[in-house]
Amino acid sequence: MPGLQIENLHLSVGGRVLLARFSLTVGPGEVTTVMGPSGCGKSSLLSWLCGTIEPAFRASGQIWLDGVPIAGLPPERRRLGILFQDDLLFPHLSVGENLAFALPRWIRGRRHRWARVEAALREADLAGFAGRDPATLSGGQRARVALMRTLLAEPRALLLDEPFGGLDRELRQRVRRFVFDHARWAALPTLLVTHDPADAEVAGGAVVEFPNFGAKLLPLRNSGRRPA
Amino acid sequence: MAAALQQLAAYTGRRSAWLGWLPPLTLLVFLGPIAAGLLGTVLPAFGYLPALGGERLSLEPWHQLASAPGLGRALRATLISGFLSTVLALALTVLVFAAGHGTLALGRVKRAMTPLLAVPHLATAVGLAFLIAPSGWLARLAAPWAGWRTPPDVAVVQDSLGLALALGLILKETPFLVLMTFGALGQARADDHLRLARTLGYGPVQAWLKIVLPLVYAQIRLPVYAVLAYSLSVVDMAIVLGPTTPPPLAPLVLRWFNDSDLSMRFQAAAGACLQLVLVALAIGLWRIAESVFGWLARPWLCGGGRGGSGFLPGVAAWIGLALLFGLSLGSLLGLATWSLAGRWRFPERWPEQLSAEPWLEHAGRLLGPAWTTLVAGAISALVALALVTGCLENESRRQRPPGLGALTLLYLPLLAPQIGFLFGVQVLLVWARLDGSWLGLIWSHLLFVLPYVFLALADPYRSLDPRYARSALALGKPPWLVWTRIKLVMLLRPLLVALAVGFAVSVAQYLPTLFAGGGRFATLTTEALGLSAGGDRRVVGQLALMLAALPLLGFGIALAVPAWRFRRRRAMRAGG
């Protein structure tokens, strides 16, 4: 079955239940939005999906990606691409090298790889930027490079962790459109986490509100820690 | 309210009259002598030292140096031990982080390495020699299988290539680099970048090597240079573990300085200059190698190779760590056992009896040096702490962070080989009639204690939230009260840790004690070194064990006092 499925996720930290019996299906090319205030566990959901959640969290449940269970795999073998609010372009690599870093190994030969990088840059309206230092780019340019980098790694699903939060309003609209268009064009199941209703509106897909009802019904036990 | 605001303005806007004098005074205290010391070494190297009859500049000392017997072999041992130890210590550090980043085990490694760092080099060297010497513990363990009745005739320590010295240096420098790397991870945003590289399909080890290492290395570059410079010019460890005929360059130059023939001072000064040039060239070479490696690694960096789960590097890292901890702890255990040993013949694994008797027997020889060590360490650490705290407070009131230049200046005494300028410092002290005095001794220790205290305290001091002090001022408290009752109390733990660092550095000093003390001060370090060749292993073991115990005790107190003082303040217990 194609797409991304979350099955019966139970997520807690320090005795505080964030999600219980949570299930969700995102089809190819669909954008599902998870909304909620900070600390409700929506970012932890994405960390759990990626396999990079901190050891303090306890989680159980299964993830199916195109019919394959991936919850037991290390992050690098899950083939989930993620974009954060911070673009996290590697500061010691040029723009082109950032993209080449993401290209799969089977694209061989320097010239061949570089051609793919140039093509990706043209697609992002950044032709000729390959040699630039990422630090000299504008916010919108950086966001576009970050998306192209994620897509070049050929993920099977896209996770968006408030990726438009750091941009001003006008730029936000343009980058949002750019990201969603690419996700649909690549037929990627996309899960967007945000607290901006406008994001959900443009995404146009299903919207899940956190705290999830399952979590709300359970008693919240006292804990000193709040998840990021 | 108005008065409080005025005070607030006075506190943040204007510098305090006496605090403002501290930074230049501090610079003078520790950079002045180094500059003078360098001059006092360079001039005699070109034949100018009127006190010994050298009144004209000449190249004669250099001719003498060039024809000195064994110089070539001394240089070979220096270069092998210096580069080998730096490369391997850095490699082990990188391996440990690449294989273990983000795991709980790495946190435990950090906690276990901190005490290793506090043990003076000399104590580790003596303990390691007890362990690996032909008559040492390892040979005794192997004796039944190898059929040895007498110690095997192999030069395991003091080998002519300096490999034992390299091993000793690795044991000490790896913990230093590991802890410096821990400090650099946050600034490089290692966790975030690593997570992203993993989601792009990279295995943990490749992700660390390709993304985190280049970012972290930029942060630990100066510490790596310090390790290289130190390893190329170490004296105390080299006397115990290095070759003897001839020794590596630094101890060889020291031998010339101590020669009864005073004219050898000129040759020694030229040798000290050679040591300076050697270290400068080595650092330059290392810098070039960095660029070449960076350039060569580019295709690999962007070639898309993802790497595997990192199982083999993990195994290698654990083996490396097991060896490191095994040898380090074995060394300390060896010191303790020898210090308590009665008759202990080869190839017995244990002494015939363990008792306090050897301690009581030698108490008279131990107490004096221990006391001198303790006093010199306590005074120099306290003076350094006062100067550094004053400088940092001045900086925070002027709200002007120092640039990279100041930090490099600070690293200067850690990068420049001690043998390269301490003779000049001695000349200076003789001229000021301070040689062999407590003042001269403390001053010479301060040269090395001060930078380390600064490095230990600067980050915690600068990262204290300034709003605490501002709100206290806004409540109408005078600045000095805010400083002593709020800031210094909140910083009690880092202050005491910095004090312990300074104390540990002073305890370990050998050359400054020798040169500035004019032979009149016997510390644990000088005694242990004096007896290390051919002395009774019990006394040497006792001296080295005390040498290791004093700094550890200092750190123990530095951690215990704040823990007790803040036992009912949860927020003050958090953090490293």
pLDDT band with cut points at 50, 70 and 90 for residue B27: confident
Those of residues 153-212 in A touching chain B at CB distance below 8 A are 153
Q: How confident is the model at residue B407 (pLDDT cuts 50, 70, 90)?
A: low
* Rounded mean pLDDT, B545-559: 95
The SS3 call for residue B62 is helix
Beta carbons of A131 and A144 less than 8 angstroms apart: no
Gap from A202 CA to chain B (nearest CA, Å): 26
Tokens of A59: 């989680």
Cβ neighbours of residue B438 under 8 Å, at least 6 residues apart? B376
SS3 B245: coil
- Closest CA relative to residue B233, chosen from B283, B199, B193, B186: B283
Min CA distance, A44 vs chain B (Å)? 14
Per-residue pLDDT tens digits for A6-49: 999 999 988 888 888 899 999 999 999 999 887 788 889 999 99
Model pLDDT, residue B330:
96
Q: Which residues of A touch B202 (CB under 8 A)?
A: 76
Q: Which residues pair with A9 in a beta bridge?
A: A22
* Mean pLDDT to the nearest integer, B404-432: 80
- Rounded alpha-carbon distances, angstroms, from residue B183 to B94, B192, B554, B568, B575: 14, 16, 22, 28, 13
Residue in the structure block whose two tokens are 């570059």: B221
Give A110's contacts in chain B (Cβ within 8 Å): 299
Tell me the C-alpha distance between B330 and B350, whole Å. 14
pLDDT at B22 over 90: no
pLDDT at residue B147, rounded to an integer = 87
Burial class (CB in 10 A: 0-12, 13-18, 19+), B174: buried
> pLDDT of A53-110, one tens digit each?
888 899 999 999 999 999 999 999 999 999 998 899 999 999 999 999 999 999 888 8
Residue B570 has pLDDT above 60, yes or no: yes
pLDDT of residue A212: 59
Residue/partner pairs of B190-197 with CB below 8 Å, 24 or more apart:
B190/B101, B190/B215, B190/B216, B191/B102, B192/A84, B192/A86, B192/A88, B193/A88, B193/A90, B194/B101, B194/B102, B195/A50, B195/A52, B195/A75, B196/A82, B196/A84, B196/A88, B197/A101
A215, pLDDT greater than 70 = no
Structure confidence by residue, pLDDT tens digits, B59-68: 999 999 999 9
Using CA of residue B406, residue B411, residue B415, residue B417, what is the dihedral sign? Answer: positive
Q: Are the C-beta atoms of residues B550 and B374 closer than 8 Å to each other? A: yes
Cβ contacts from A onto B, under 8 A: 79
Q: ipTM score of the complex?
A: 0.89
Q: Locate tokens 């009581």: which residue? A: B360
Q: Which two tokens stand for residue B352?
A: 């015939």
Residue A223, pLDDT score = 36
pLDDT at B572: 80
Model confidence band, residue B498 (pLDDT cutoffs 50, 70, 90)? very high
Q: Mean pLDDT over residues B424-448, rounded?
A: 88
Residues sharing a CB contact under 8 Å with residue B216, sequence separation 6 or more, in sequence order? B97, B181, B184, B185, B188, B190
Kindly determine whether residue B305 and residue A105, on different chains, have CB atoms separated by under 8 Å: yes
- Highest-pLDDT range among A168-177, B144-153, B285-294, B488-497: B285-294
Contact B196 A82 (CB under 8 A): yes
Q: Is B202 in contact with A113 (Cβ distance < 8 A)?
A: no
The 10 Å Cβ neighbour count of residue B429 is 27
**pLDDT tier for residue A226 given thresholds of 50, 70 and 90:** very low
A77 Cβ under 8 Å from any chain B Cβ: yes
Q: Give the residue on A whose Cα is nearest the Cα of B102.
A: A54
Looking from the CA of B404 toward its CB, the CA atoms found within 13 Å total: 3
Q: In angstroms, rounded to a whole number, what is the distance separating the alpha carbons of residues A70 and A82?
A: 16
Q: Which of B106, B189, B196 to mutate to test the interface with A (most CBs of A within 10 A)?
A: B196
Segment B245-264 shows an average pLDDT of: 93
Per-residue three-class SS string for B191-217: HHHHHHHHHCCCCHHHHHHHHHHHHHH
Q: Which residues pair with A160 in a beta bridge?
A: A83, A192
Q: Which of B192, B193, B302 to mutate to test the interface with A (most CBs of A within 10 A)?
A: B302
Sign of the torsion formed by the C-alpha atoms of B518, B524, B526 and B527: positive
pLDDT value of position B574 = 53
Residue A84 forms contact with B (CB below 8 Å): yes
Please give the backbone phi and psi of residue B235, each rounded to the nearest 5 degrees, phi first.
-110, -55
Q: At what angle do helices B121-132 and B537-565 cross, to 10 degrees?
A: 130
Question: What is the full DSSP assignment across A152-217?
Answer: HT--SEEEEESTTTTS-HHHHHHHHHHHHHHHHHTT--EEEEES-HHHHHHH-S-EEESS-HHHHH
Q: What is the CA radius of gyration of chain A?
A: 18
- A220 has a pLDDT exceeding 80: no
Q: Is the pLDDT of residue B515 over 80?
A: yes
What local confidence, expressed as pLDDT, does residue B310 receive?
86
> Chain B residues with CB inside 8 Å of A105's CB?
303-306
The set of residues, in sequence order, having a beta carbon less than 8 Å from that of B509 and lying 6+ positions away, is B444, B445, B448, B523, B525
pLDDT of residue B404: 56
Instruction: Provide the pairing of β-strand A4-13 with A57-65.
Output: antiparallel
Most confident range, picked from A97-106, B97-106, B417-426: A97-106
For residue B484, give both structure tokens. 């002593």
3-state secondary structure B308-320: CCCHHHHHHHHHH
Report the mean per-residue pLDDT for chain A.
88
Those residues with Cβ within 8 angstroms of residue A141's Cβ, 6 or more apart along the chain or in another chain = A126, A129
% of residues, chain A, pLDDT over 70: 93
DSSP characters for A117-151?
Answer: HHHHHHHTT-TT-TTS-GGGS-HHHHHHHHHHHHH
Task: Calculate mean pLDDT across residues A224-228.
Answer: 37
Q: Average pLDDT in the B244-268 region?
A: 93
* Chain A positions in Cβ-Cβ contact with residue B302 (cut-off 8 Å): 93, 97, 100-101, 113
The helix (run of H) or strand (run of E) holding residue B84 is: helix B71-100
Asked, as a colleague might, if the bond just before B246 is cis with ω within 30 of 0, I would say yes
- Quote the pLDDT of residue A225: 39
Whether residue B306 and residue A75 make contact (CB cut-off 8 A), yes or no, is no
- All residues of chain A having their beta carbon less than 8 Å from the beta carbon of residue B218 are 92
- Average pLDDT over every residue of B41-61: 88
Mean pLDDT over all residues of chain B? 89
B270 pLDDT tier (thresholds 50, 70, 90): very high
Q: B15 by DSSP, 3-state: which? A: coil
| Residues with Cβ within 8 Å of residue B266, at least 6 apart in sequence | B44, B45, B47, B49, B52, B54, B60, B61, B64
Which of B334-338, B348-352, B435-439, B459-463 tops mean pLDDT?
B334-338
A123-137, B15-29, B33-47: which has the minimum mean pLDDT? B15-29
Asked if pLDDT for residue A209 goes beyond 90, the answer is no
- B230 pLDDT higher than 70: yes
Predicted local confidence at residue B155, as pLDDT: 82
pLDDT class for B16, splitting at 50, 70, 90?
A: low
Give the model's pLDDT for residue B228: 97
For residue B401, the model assigns a pLDDT of 61
Query: How many angstroms away from the CA of A94 is the closest CA of chain B?
Result: 10
Tell me the two tokens of residue B574. 């958090």
Q: Which of A78, A107, A149 lies at the smallest CB-CB distance from B304?
A: A107
| Sheet arrangement for strand A68-69 | A16-26, A4-13, A57-65, A68-69
Over the stretch B137-148, which tens digit does the pLDDT of each residue have? 999 999 989 888
User: From start to end of B375-460, where are the E strands?
Assistant: none
Residue in chain A lying closest to B104 (CA): A55
- The position carrying tokens 């500061």 is A91
| Element at B574 (helix H, strand E) | none
Phi, psi of A11 (to 5 degrees): -130, 125
**pLDDT classification of A219: cutoffs 50, 70, 90:** very low
Mean pLDDT of B444-468: 89
Q: Is the pLDDT of residue B408 over 80?
A: no
A74 at the B interface (CB within 8 A)? Answer: yes
Q: Report the C-alpha gap between B286 and B227 in whole angstroms.
A: 12
Residues of B in contact with A103 (CB under 8 A): 304
The predicted pLDDT at position B425 comes to: 87
**Which of A89-98, B49-58, B309-318, B483-492 has the lowest average pLDDT?**
B49-58
**In a mutagenesis test of the B interface, which of A87, A101, A106 is the best target, namely the one with the most B β-carbons within 10 Å?**
A101
Distance between CA atoms of residues B80 and B51, nearest Å: 37
Q: Do B198 and A75 lie within an 8 Å CB cutoff?
A: yes
